[in-house]
Chain A
Amino acid sequence: DTAVSQTPKYLVTQMGNDKSIKCEQNLGHDTMYWYKQDSKKFLKIMFSYNNKELIINETVPNRFSPKSPDKAHLNLHINSLELGDSAVYFCASSLLGGGGTDTQYFGPGTRLTVL
């Protein structure tokens, strides 16, 4: 059974396009996250939602907009894609999300390449 799933797994697109990445978790968790992992493997948090409410919004260009239709889904929409957006984007979830006492469960990642 897939715990945290992301689609698509690979995304190749031209600069200036708008694209979305979808994430779903079937663990019943309250909190979901988006991370960006760059080419040097540095993993940086972008957003976090707890029960559909935004609780972490890092210094991310406003071209990135997360949307959580329900607590099992957290999608990431990116407008006007730039070369520097090329990275692997990971979705994750955790049971509660408070204070870092939870284990995070990660999706398989979406490798975004902007040409």
Chain B
Amino acid sequence: SQQGEEDPQALSIQEGENATMNCSYKTSINNLQWYRQNSGRGLVHLILIRSNEREKHSGRLRVTLDTSKKSSSLLITASRAADTASYFCATVSSGTYKYIFGTGTRLKVLA
């Protein structure tokens, strides 16, 4: 079964609004990462949160991790049209080397 699943699958907001997307996973993890994929491009790493961390910030990004619920959220504040992309969470189960990516959230920011 798939490890990471994001919701919503698609999100459309106005520029300046905040965007929140969630990721759920199934097994114990070492850390969780978020990536962005612009249309027709490869994935770009955004942020990594370790399993012993609860919250992390990077610029306009805020990531939370709740290992008891096996879930994470990515908040993008004051969104811009350039934030339009698909966002993926990726996890590595404890004891493995395999990254599992979720199905992604397609974010559209309207100018």
Interface pair A99/B86, CB less than 8 Å apart: no
Q: Roughly how many angstroms separate A87 CA and B2 CA in the complex, as a whole number? A: 19
Chain A residue nearest to B50 in the complex (CB): A101
Q: How many residues of A contact B (CB 8 A)?
A: 27
Q: Roughly how many angstroms separate A101 CA and B97 CA in the complex, as a whole number? A: 9
Chain B residue nearest to A98 in the complex (CB): B97
Report B72-100 CB contacts with A as 1/0, cut-off 8 Å. 00000000000000101011100011111
Residues of B23-44 contacting chain A, CB below 8 A: 29-31, 33, 35, 37, 40-44
B76 to chain A, nearest CB (A): 19
Interface hit among A13-21, A40-48, A65-73: A40-48
Contact for B42 among A98, A99, A108, CB less than 8 A? A108
Chain B, interface residues (CB within 8 Å), range: 20 to 34
Residues of A26-43 contacting chain B, CB below 8 A: 33, 35, 40-43
Known A-B contacts A55-B97, A100-B92; A40 and B103 likewise in contact (beta carbons under 8 Å) = yes
Contacts of A55 in B (CB 8 A): 97
Interface pair B42/A48, CB less than 8 Å apart: no
Q: Roughly how many angstroms separate A40 CA and B97 CA in the complex, as a whole number? A: 24
Contact for B97 among A41, A48, A106, CB less than 8 A? A48
Q: Roughly how many angstroms separate A45 CA and B93 CA in the complex, as a whole number? A: 14
A-B contact pairs, 26 of them (CB 8 A): A35-B101, A41-B37, A41-B103, A41-B104, A42-B2, A42-B101, A43-B43, A43-B104, A48-B98, A55-B97, A56-B97, A90-B43, A97-B97, A100-B33, A100-B90, A100-B99, A101-B30, A103-B33, A104-B43, A104-B99, A105-B45, A106-B35, A106-B42, A108-B41, A108-B42, A109-B41
Measured CB to CB, the residues of A under 8 A from B are: 4, 33, 35, 40-45, 48, 55-56, 58, 90, 92, 97-101, 103-109
